[in-house]
Structure 1
Amino acid sequence: MVEEHTNQPWSRGKSRRERVEHARSRDILDVASELNMELFQSGRDYRWKEHDSMVISPDKNMWNWFSRHQGGDVIALVQTMKEINFNQAIDYLNDGTFKEFTIAERVQESFNYYLKPYEQPFEAGRSYLKEQRGLSDETIDFFLEKGVLAQANAKVNGSIEPVVVFKSFDFSGEIVGATLQGIEENWEKWPERGYAKNIVRNSDGITGMHVDIGQPNRLIFAESAIDLMSYYELHRNSLQDVRLISMDGLKEAVVGRHVAQLQSDVSGRPLRWSHDELAEGLQTAIDNNFFADGKHADWITLAVDNDEGGRNFISSLRDKGAAVIEAMPNLQPGQEKSDWNGATRFSISA
């Protein structure tokens, strides 16, 4: 039987401070469940299925929506999700009935790369990456030769769109995910960005597009495949013995998965972890003092956006005990945020 956390009838008679403290003490997972947020576990944290850049940390009873630069305690969560003010959130948390959160076992369906028959010569995709994104033929050819790029026609939100496909492969060479970037601008169809954008259903969520240069002994993470290509564009002459990885957002699970893999590669020991164990790879490394006393200080470089979300992500990993090198693009005069593709285009125009 599911336990219900109900409020006592005397709660209205409590002082304002007591009501605020009681509201703040509500279990954040119970509250998220009552707010009809479908969550899935990602290591020790949980993510919202609808927007997986929102991370809920039950150990801290806090949340962080990295892509929107929002976060805080359970009161702030209610304010954000219900679009109400602080006092209304206090009332909701004091006077509501909350069932104990139970996580449904998530069965990871196999990824099916259905786009192979619809792949085309990489011509419109090349034009888009060159003309709209400022990438050179040399950079495009490098990623094409690695087998992680394709052009195809794909159904995105009911519309057939020409797209660039960024492929994710596991370390046995099997494709386990893909993200799609539309190449035809249409603000009426895609009012948020002007272009179609999607993650293919059942992508594994923790591998991301990645490429190796030499024999990797360190990892560089970017927020998107295009940012990763842009970082390579600007640094390709100095990159050696490194693995470049797109997180498709700000995802600790991707960092953990690749830390675990690199440990296996360097040590020569096979890696036979489950999906969830891989997702928790960073925390496992921290718990085993992997970064203690300055060890492995150069393993993780975060080439994330220079904005509040990117800076918060760097801080969150450092607060956990990970050693992180930050490699954010410089802000240009008048800019409040910058990403690596913007930096690439700026370097061309400068």
Structure 2
Amino acid sequence: MAFSDEELAQCAAVDIVDLAEGHGIELTSETERFYRMTEHDSLVIDRAKNYFHWNSRGFGGNTIKFAQTFLTDPHKTDSARFKDAVGLLLDRNNLKHSEVAYQHTPYVYDPKLISTDFRQAREYLINKRNLSPALVDQFHKEGLAQQNKVGSAVFLWVDPGTDEVMGSTIQGTRIDHQRYGKRGTYKQIERNSTSGYGFAVGPADADTLRFFEAPIDLMSYIQLKGQDVRTQYVAMNGLKEEVITHYLADNIKNRPTVPDRMVFNVDNDAAGQRFVDQFLVLNWTDRRNGKELAVERELPGDDRTPVSYWRDYERASAKYRTNPYLLYVLDKASSNLQPGMLTNGADIHTPFTEQTDHAAATEATAAALPVNFRGSLTQWAGVVRQWNADREGDCQRFGLKCQYYSNQATRGSGLKLIRNSDPFIKDWNDIIRTRVASSVNQGTKTPQEKGQELE
């Protein structure tokens, strides 16, 4: 059954919030405009645009896509689910279009909501998130990390030029998995926080800009790597292009040319990988003087490779007389070493994205490599073309990602073999917590414990 353009436009105009709530999907209102799904809290609905984005899955869409994702049979094909979604939306009971009038309400910081007692937030950040006492106290002293009257940690979005508070991120400190799911804590952006801003540390005219997803990731990175006085660290509170645009524009306004580097330090999951991919293919050049802005990626745990996977590469390489590093690169760039998952921004398919059996996917890839394949930029694009016909531009984009991981691996810095039982590393705080757990298991005192002894 074919639908007319008029019918599809009518379905797309149905208000997503009303549709979701009318079908028993629980939402949390963050502002009049933005809603978050309670069950999947990385899914945000922009009611003004009538559009949703599921950050952890790296996709989004209009009302039809929402209905297809949540209100149709997941066992059916995509085309069948699309037809079911449109049929559902054409039902008279669902044709309630959005007539919400949006009026921007400027953010106003109310210092009376901040407590003079920082102990509960401090204890959570140190004992639950394993941040060092010295770092937590530093951020508190600088007025960036505070505690509100109910005991939650508050990360203030301070404009580095004016010192004006433009919004805040609220991080709950009480663990309640039954209410908040796997994460276990309440987390929210304060109502009416200024769009384009985030939790930022460092000068507005920095030589390097680093972007993170959350304030605790930002603090964890500084704890692991140290703080560079010529770097501005920005937590976007998700994956938000408008935050990147704002801080880059602000940087250029405060210096004679573009910064030296812009580095993405977001989570190492499918959404983070796909988000970063879209920026690495752009050419950032200052037209005033020709200076190029280097765009780089540094994702947590991005070098970790299960030893069983490496053995798969070696076995297939020996059989088909190729290089195991080439197989690793195609696996990493397309699936992020997650069998059966598509995690690249170019949406390039390989056997690694289509098969959940890693050994079988590795052998299928090795069998498809040309005899003279060495892994040049043009060869990377060429080899995936066989699985992605008529997508030349996407194949070229994917080739750039392959080249990155190839360069990292051959330099010896991009590949670290781990046991299959080793914990999964998604964000920078995972690294700290894993190290603390390891030192506890080995009977040594953690840096946090040593720090507390000195207090």
* Coarse TM-score class (shorter-chain normalised): 0.5 to 0.7
Does structure 2 conserve the Cα–Cα contact (< 8 Å) formed by 1:214 and 1:240? no
Alpha-carbon offset, residue 128 of structure 1: 1.3
Match of 1:259 among 238, 248, 263: 248
Structure 1 pair 53–88 and aligned structure 2 pair: CA distance change class (3 A): closer
Structure 1 pair 196–66 and aligned structure 2 pair: CA distance change class (3 A): closer
Q: Give a deviation string over 1:98-134, Cα, whole Å, max 9, x none.
A: 99x9997743212233353541232222221111111
Q: Equivalents in 1 of 2:179, 2:189: separation in Å?
A: 17
Alpha-carbon offset, residue 330 of structure 1: 0.7
Q: Which residue of 1 aligns with 2:128?
A: 132
Which one has more relative contact order, counting CA pairs under 8 Å at least 6 apart?
A: 1
Structure 1 pair 217–106 and aligned structure 2 pair: CA distance change class (3 A): farther
Q: Equivalents in 2 of 1:195, 1:115: separation in Å?
A: 23
Q: Equivalents in 2 of 1:141, 1:252: separation in Å?
A: 31
Out of 239-248 and 110-119, give the one that drifted further.
110-119
Q: Equivalents in 1 of 2:246, 2:262: separation in Å?
A: 12
Alpha-carbon offset, residue 173 of structure 1: 1.6
Q: Which residue of 2 aligns with 1:315?
A: 277
Does structure 2 conserve the Cα–Cα contact (< 8 Å) formed by 1:187 and 1:193? yes
Q: Equivalents in 2 of 1:112, 1:225: separation in Å?
A: 21
Q: Equivalents in 1 of 2:99, 2:249: separation in Å?
A: 25
Alpha-carbon offset, residue 200 of structure 1: 1.3
Structure 1 pair 297–73 and aligned structure 2 pair: CA distance change class (3 A): farther
- Which residue identity does 1:129 align to in structure 2? L
Q: Which residue of 1 aligns with 2:337?
A: none
Structure 1 pair 236–32 and aligned structure 2 pair: CA distance change class (3 A): farther
Match of 2:300 among 302, 325, 329: 329
Q: Which residue of 2 aligns with 1:33?
A: 13
Alpha-carbon offset, residue 190 of structure 1: 3.3
Q: Which residue of 2 aligns with 1:90?
A: 83
Q: Equivalents in 2 of 1:324, 1:349: separation in Å?
A: 34
- Which residue identity does 2:268 align to in structure 1? N
Match of 2:191 among 190, 201, 215: 201
Does structure 2 conserve the Cα–Cα contact (< 8 Å) formed by 1:297 and 1:324? no
Matched, 1:79 2:74: no
Q: Which residue of 2 aligns with 1:290?
A: none
Matched, 1:235 2:204: no
Matched, 1:65 2:153: no
Q: Equivalents in 2 of 1:73, 1:124: separation in Å?
A: 41
Does structure 1 conserve the Cα–Cα contact (< 8 Å) formed by 2:300 and 2:431? yes
Match of 2:108 among 105, 108, 112: 112
Matched, 1:346 2:443: no
CA RMSD in angstroms comes to 3.9
Q: Equivalents in 2 of 1:64, 1:198: separation in Å?
A: 16
Q: Equivalents in 2 of 1:222, 1:199: separation in Å?
A: 15
Q: Give TM-score scaled by structure 2 length.
A: 0.53
Q: Which residue of 2 aligns with 1:216?
A: 206
Q: Percent identity?
A: 25
- Which residue identity does 1:328 align to in structure 2? L
Q: Equivalents in 1 of 2:277, 2:123: separation in Å?
A: 37
- Which residue identity does 1:139 align to in structure 2? L
* Secondary structure in 2 matching 1:266: coil
Does structure 2 conserve the Cα–Cα contact (< 8 Å) formed by 1:53 and 1:250? no
Q: Which residue of 2 aligns with 1:149?
A: 145
* Secondary structure in 1 matching 2:202: strand
* Secondary structure in 1 matching 2:263: strand
Structure 1 pair 176–313 and aligned structure 2 pair: CA distance change class (3 A): same
Alpha-carbon offset, residue 214 of structure 1: 9.3
Higher strand share: 1
Aligned residues: 284
Alpha-carbon offset, residue 199 of structure 1: 1.6
Q: Give a deviation string over 1:4-23, Cα, whole Å, max 9, x none.
A: xxxxxxxxxxxx6x66xx78
Q: Equivalents in 1 of 2:269, 2:54: separation in Å?
A: 13
Q: Give a deviation string over 1:176-230, Cα, whole Å, max 9, x none.
A: 1111112222334434532222221111132111111695122111100111100
Greater Rg over alpha carbons, structure:
2
- Which residue identity does 1:194 align to in structure 2? G
Structure 1 pair 72–191 and aligned structure 2 pair: CA distance change class (3 A): closer
Match of 1:50 among 35, 38, 41: 35
Does structure 1 conserve the Cα–Cα contact (< 8 Å) formed by 2:152 and 2:172? yes
Alpha-carbon offset, residue 245 of structure 1: 0.7
Q: Which residue of 2 aligns with 1:175?
A: 165
Does structure 1 conserve the Cα–Cα contact (< 8 Å) formed by 2:264 and 2:296? yes
